[in-house]
Amino acid sequence: MADSTTNQPSRTRDLDKLLLRPGNLVAPIFDPGAQLRDDIGEYARILVVGAGGLGCELLKDLALSGFKNLEVIDMDRIEVTNLNRQFLFRLEDVGKPKAEVAAKRVMERVSGVNIVPHFCRIEDKEIEFYNDFSIIVLGLDSIEARSYINAVACSFLEYDSNDNPIEETVKPMVDGGTEGFKGHARIIMPGSTPCFECTIWLFPPQVKFPLCTLAETPRTPAHCIEYAHLIKWDEVHSGKSFDPDEPEHMKWVYTEAVKRAELFGIQGVTYSLTQGVVKNIIPAIASTNAIVSAACALETLKLVSGCSKTLSNYLTYNGVEGLHVKVTEFVRDKDCLVCGPGVLVELDTTVTLQKFIDILEEHPTLLLSKASVTHRGKNLYMQAPPVLEEMTRSNLKLPLFELMGKVSKDVVHVTGSTTKNDQKTSCLRKLRIAFKGVDGMTDTDMAGGA
Ligand SMILES: [Zn+2]
């Protein structure tokens, strides 16, 4: 790792075995040679999402695999409890942003690599930020964050008039995940392999308690903690949002949870349990992170270079008893509303948001009532909760064209309820909105619609 120049043979020796020689199991794009190796360093831009246990490993692995243009995004600061496995961090780094320290440490050790850190929430970045990268690699521990990045990457995907994905708009993702001694690595090619949403059933539902249980009939220490965290906090601190990384906030929740537990005769509320419940902490094992990260980095290299066929398409690792690795080929959900083409709705530029919602209700294939509408992650109108409804109500009388930033066409996401087999079910729909008579709209854009 201590090479002074990047192209010393010792540094690239192993990489050269993959990139300089022809092979039988290579992808059609593979063109072996030193040029390929240099191009990977020069042109491939990789975003690593998350600078935690997996993220640290990913940055190191990718840097050592010849990638030189890396960026990393993470909103967290380093905590003492991270130090056992997030090996890029030291005691003196506690309190500093993970993304910044991780980038600095890898750059110190691997010469020639440039890593740009982003210390912010993934939602804080413009959608277009994510479009700049060749591949997005995810080292996350939350389903919500994965779901968000997945929706963003799939939003770049465009379909041709035959509903085939247009290759240049495919934004590949490599997703790693670990939980204790288990982990997975997967490849998502929006439009051809299943996206995160196509296989959302792979993830067990996160433990969430019904609010009525928390409010009226708590039975466990976790119920008391969530009561203090989700209900009591808002009652007492009107408007001030809870910050799980703020020790004072955590202490307040703990104290309230203890009071609650005493009231109902429940034992077992501790400060560490409070942290565990509130932050949804999943046990982390360094070796699992290392193995899953290695698989992800290799897949990233394969995607960029074509030096081997990629994983098809979901690898699971289980180290609980012995070691078990398996690859499963999942199939796309043809009706997926995130990675599919979406239903086309043509509108006049004067149509208000309210009128649009009415149109959805009468639309022959949608029959969508009580619609809430979001555009590129922004809530245009929300039916619930009441506070969001009130905040977005004034948008109803505005033209959708204006609310969507006067673009000729774009995708909106709509949630609501629809009738299926005489039964009302809630649903999420991706709709392609096209405004009539606006520049930039061509016949091809309009073809293949609903
Ligand atoms: Zn999908």
449, pLDDT greater than 50 = no
Tell whether 311 and 397 lie within a shared domain. Answer: no
Tell whether 219 and 79 lie within a shared domain. Answer: no
Q: Which residues are within 8 A (CB) of 128 and not within 5 positions of it... i.e. 6 or more apart?
A: none
Identify the CATH number of the domain in which residue 263 sits. 1.10.10.520
**Alpha helices (H) in 349-403, listed in sequence order:** 353-362, 386-392, 400-403
Q: Is residue 338 part of a domain?
A: no
Output the CA 327–ligand 1 centroid distance in Å.
19
Can you give the pLDDT at residue 279? 83
Can you give the pLDDT at residue 389? 93
Tell whether 172 and 266 lie within a shared domain. Answer: no
Question: CB count, 10 Å around CB of 41?
Answer: 17
Tell whether 197 and 223 lie within a shared domain. Answer: no
136, pLDDT greater than 50 = yes
Q: Residues 198, 212, 336, 339: which is the catalytic one?
A: 212
Cβ neighbourhood burial of 103 (10 Å; 0-12, 13-18, 19+): buried
pLDDT band for position 249 (cuts 50, 70, 90)? very high
Q: What CA–CA distance (Å, rounded) separates 168 from 96?
A: 38
Q: What CA–CA distance (Å, rounded) separates 429 from 434?
A: 16
Residue span of the structural domain in which 83 resides = 9-203+284-328
Q: What CA–CA distance (Å, rounded) separates 1 from 87?
A: 15
Tell whether 194 and 275 lie within a shared domain. Answer: no
Work out the average pLDDT over 362-379: 85
Can you give the pLDDT at residue 73? 97
Of the chain, the end-to-end C-alpha distance in Å amounts to 55
Output the CA 82–ligand 1 centroid distance in Å.
33
Which of 175, 153, 57, 139 shows the shortest CA–CA distance to 105? 57
Tell whether 52 and 154 lie within a shared domain. Answer: yes
In sequence order, what DSSP letters do the residues of 75-103 get, joined into one string?
--B--GGGTTT-TT--GGGTTSBHHHHHH
Q: What CA–CA distance (Å, rounded) separates 126 from 337?
A: 22
8, pLDDT greater than 80 = no
Q: Is residue 195 part of a domain?
A: yes
Output the CA 334–ligand 1 centroid distance in Å.
8
Work out the average pLDDT over 209-217: 81
Q: What CA–CA distance (Å, rounded) separates 114 from 71?
A: 8
Output the CA 145–ligand 1 centroid distance in Å.
16
| Annotation marks residue 307 as catalytic | no
Output the CA 98–ligand 1 centroid distance in Å.
31
Tell whether 255 and 316 lie within a shared domain. Answer: no
Q: Find the length of the chain.
A: 450
Output the CA 368–ligand 1 centroid distance in Å.
20
90, pLDDT greater than 70 = yes
Tell whether 377 and 258 lie within a shared domain. Answer: no
11, 90, 133 from 102: Cα distances, Å? 21, 10, 19
Q: Which of the two residues, 140 and 410, has the higher pLDDT score?
A: 140
Output the CA 331–ligand 1 centroid distance in Å.
10
Output the CA 317–ligand 1 centroid distance in Å.
23
Within 13 A of 211's CA, how many CA atoms are on the CB side? 4
Identify the CATH number of the domain in which residue 420 sits. 3.10.290.20
Output the CA 196–ligand 1 centroid distance in Å.
6
In sequence order, what DSSP letters do the residues of 208-274 get, joined into one string?
---HHHHHH---SHHHHHHIIIIIIHHHHSTTPPP-TT-HHHHHHHHHHHHHHHHHTT-----HHHH
Q: Which tens digits make up the pLDDT trace of 91-123?
A: 999 999 999 999 999 999 999 999 999 999 998
Q: Is residue 189 part of a domain?
A: yes
Can you give the pLDDT at residue 423? 61
3-class SS of residue 359:
helix
Q: Is residue 47 part of a domain?
A: yes
Output the CA 131–ligand 1 centroid distance in Å.
18
Residues 47, 130 contacting (CB under 8 angstroms): yes
Can you give the pLDDT at residue 425? 62
Number of domains present in the structure of the chain: 3
Residue bearing tokens 């046990």: 283
Output the CA 212–ligand 1 centroid distance in Å.
33
Tell whether 192 and 321 lie within a shared domain. Answer: yes
Tell whether 108 and 246 lie within a shared domain. Answer: no
Q: Which of the two residues, 449 and 166, has the higher pLDDT score?
A: 166
204, pLDDT greater than 70 = no
Query: pTM higher than 0.85 for the full model?
Result: no
150, 230, 289, 422 from 356: Cα distances, Å? 26, 34, 47, 24
Q: Which residues are within 8 A (CB) of 431 and not within 5 positions of it... i.e. 6 or more apart?
A: 342, 343, 344, 345, 366, 411, 412, 413, 414
Q: Is residue 305 part of a domain?
A: yes
Q: pLDDT above 70 covers what percent of the chain?
A: 92
Can you give the pLDDT at residue 206? 58
Neighbours of ion ligand 1 (CB under 5 A): 195, 197-198, 336, 338-339
For residue 263, the one-letter residue type is L
Output the CA 393–ligand 1 centroid distance in Å.
31
Residue bearing tokens 């061509």: 442
Widest pairwise Cα distance in the chain:
71
Residues 330, 198 contacting (CB under 8 angstroms): yes
Work out the average pLDDT over 295-318: 96
Q: What is the mean pLDDT of the chain?
A: 88
61-70, 214-223, 261-270: range with lowest mean pLDDT = 214-223
